[in-house]
C-alpha cells in the first residue's frame, strides 16, 4: 500500500486533535499502519487531576534491532479562527503550501515517516529487525498520560527500543538545517519572600520583603552558571515576573513573589541547581518559600550511528550538511533518552504554534525521501 504524504497530512489535520482530544487522529494513523502490516496497540491512560489521553504503539517485525519513530498527534489550540486564511482544520493547499494546525508540528512529519515506511516495505518485507511507532496524544499538554507511561508499558511487556527518531520540527530555515541530538533541562522556580505589612511612614513596625527579593534575584541573575560545552550553549537563568500585588503607595507589602526559569546544560543537574538557589536565599536571610519543579533533564546523545544516519540521508537528498544541535525547548525525547539513543529531525519550525501554520509540499516530499534513506541505511545488510 502506497501512502501519499500530502494526502495523509491532510487526513491528520482534518482531525481537530487539540490536547487532550484525539478526534480520530490515531484511528487514521492506525488504519494506515495496519494496512502496512503493523501490529497496533492502543494505550489509553488516565490519572487523577489530568485529562485522559489515548496513545498508539505500532510495530512491524518482532526481531531486534527496533528502529522507532516517535511523535504526537495532539496540537495546540488555534487561537482566533478569524486570523487564519482558511479553516485551520481543513488542510487546504494554496500555491504549493498546505495550511492547518499541526502541519509542521508534527502531523506532517508523521505522514512523511508513514509514507517513507510504505515505500521502504514495498521492497523489504523481510527486514532484519523491526520498525515501530510511538505516538502520543499528550505532548502539547502536561505530558503525564503519554510518552512516560507508554515507555513504562513497553518495559513491562518486553518491548525494547534500540534507536529512536523523534519527528519534531527541528529546521529553522530549510529542510536539512538542523537535527537535535540533545536538549537542555528546564527548572521552573517560584520564590516568595515573606515580610510584615505596615505603613510606609512607620517602617520600623513593618518588614519590607522587596529589598531581600531584589538582592536574591541580583545574586542569582548575575552568577555565571557555566560557559557551555562543545554541544551545549551556556546555562541561563531568566526572571519572568516579579509581583507584590500592592495597589497602594503608602503600604509596605507582606510578600513579594518572583518566578524564574533556568535552562541548563549537562554540566548542571536539577538537584544541584535547587541546592544553589536555596543557598543563595539563605545567604540573604529572612523568611522565604521556594517552589521548584524540573520539566526535563539535560541530555545528550553523543554523535554516533543515529546522527550519522540522519546526516548522511540529509546530504544525499538535499546536499546540505546538517547541524547537530541541542538548542530550543523540551520535547518527549527527554523521556526516551533513558531507554535508547534518541535524536530529532523533522520539518521547518517557522510556523509551528502560529496562525496559518503550514508546510510546503516540497518539504513534505524532501522529508519523506530523507526518512526513506534513513530506513534503507539502517536496515542495509
> Could you give the residue numbers annotated as active site?
74, 139
Question: Distances from the Cα of 319 to the Cαs of 144, 313, 325, in angstroms?
Answer: 39, 9, 18
How far apart are alpha carbons 267 and 363 in whole angstroms?
Answer: 36
- What is the biggest distance separating any 2 CA atoms in the chain, rounded to whole angstroms? 84
The burial of 282, by beta-carbon neighbours within 10 Å (0-12 exposed, 13-18 middle, 19 or more buried), is given as exposed
Cis peptide, bond prior to residue 106, ω within 30 of zero: yes
State the cell numbers at 193. 519572600
> Among 41, 26, 48, 298, which Cα is nearest to 156's?
41
In sequence order, what are the beta bridge partners of 71? 135
How far apart are alpha carbons 337 and 342 in whole angstroms?
Answer: 6
Contact 45, 113 (CB under 8 A): no
DSSP codes of every residue in 264-280: E-TTS-HHHHHHHHHHH
Phi, psi for residue 129 in degrees, rounded to 5:
145, -160
Cis peptide, bond prior to residue 251, ω within 30 of zero: no
In sequence order, what are the beta bridge partners of 241? 259
The burial of 239, by beta-carbon neighbours within 10 Å (0-12 exposed, 13-18 middle, 19 or more buried), is given as middle
Half-sphere exposure of 49 (CA within 13 A, CB side): 3
Phi, psi for residue 252 in degrees, rounded to 5:
-80, 125
Amino acid at each position: 500500500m502506497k501512502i501519499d504524504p500530502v494526502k495523509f497530512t491532510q487526513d491528520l489535520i482534518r482531525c481537530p486533535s487539540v490536547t487532550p482530544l484525539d478526534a480520530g487522529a490515531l484511528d487514521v494513523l492506525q488504519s494506515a499502519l495496519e494496512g502496512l502490516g503493523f501490529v497496533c496497540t492502543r494505550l489509553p491512560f488516565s490519572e487523577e487531576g489530568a485529562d485522559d489521553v489515548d496513545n498508539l504503539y505500532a510495530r512491524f517485525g518482532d526481531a531486534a534491532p527496533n528502529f522507532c519513530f516517535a511523535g504526537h498527534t495532539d496540537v495546540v489550540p488555534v487561537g482566533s479562527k478569524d486570523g487564519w486564511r482558511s479553516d485551520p482544520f481543513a488542510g487546504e493547499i494554496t500555491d504549493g503550501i498546505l495550511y492547518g494546525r499541526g502541519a509542521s508540528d508534527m502531523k506532517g512529519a508523521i505522514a512523511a515517516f508513514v509514507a517513507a515506511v510504505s515505500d521502504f516495505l514495498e521492497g523489504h518485507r523481510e527486514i532484519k529487525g523491526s520498525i515501530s511507532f510511538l505516538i502520543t496524544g499528550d505532548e502539547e499538554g502536561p505530558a503525564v498520560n503519554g510518552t512516560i507511561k507508554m515507555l513504562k508499558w513497553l518495559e513491562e511487556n518486553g518491548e525494547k527500543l534500540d534507536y529512536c527518531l523523534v519527528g519534531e520540527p527541528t529546521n529553522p530555515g530549510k529542510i536539512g538545517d538542523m537535527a537535535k541530538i540533545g536538549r537542555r533541562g528546564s527548572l521552573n522556580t517560584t520564590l516568595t519572600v515573606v515580610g510584615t505589612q505596615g505603613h510606609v511612614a512607620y517602617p520600623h513596625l513593618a518588614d519590607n520583603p522587596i529589598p531581600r527579593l531584589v538582592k536574591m534575584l541580583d545574586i542569582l541573575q548575575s552568577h555565571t552558571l557555566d560557559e557551555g560545552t562543545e554541544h551545549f550553549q551556556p546555562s541561563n537563568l531568566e526572571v519572568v515576573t516579579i509581583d507584590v500585588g500592592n495597589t497602594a503607595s503608602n503600604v509596605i507589602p507582606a510578600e513579594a513573589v518572583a518566578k524564574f526559569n533556568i535552562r541548563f546544560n549537562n554540566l548542571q543537574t536539577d538537584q544541584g541547581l535547587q541546592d544553589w538557589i536555596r543557598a543563595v536565599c539563605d545567604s540573604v536571610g529572612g523568611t522565604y518559600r521556594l517552589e521548584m519543579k524540573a520539566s526535563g533533564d539535560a541530555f545528550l546523545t553523543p554523535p554516533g550511528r543515529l546522527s550519522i544516519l540522519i546526516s548522511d540521508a540529509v546530504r544525499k537528498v538535499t546536499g546540505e550538511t546538517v547541524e547537530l544541535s541541542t538548542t530550543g525547548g523540551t520535547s518527549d525525547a527527554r523521556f526516551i533518552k533513558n531507554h535508547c539513543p534518541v535524536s530529532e529531525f523533522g520539518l521547518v519550525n517557522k510556523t509551528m504554534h502560529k496562525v496559518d501554520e503550514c508546510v510546503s509540499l516540497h518539504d513534505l516530499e524532501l522529508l519523506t525521501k530523507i526518512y526513506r534513506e534513513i530506513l534503507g541505511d539502517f536496515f542495509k545488510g
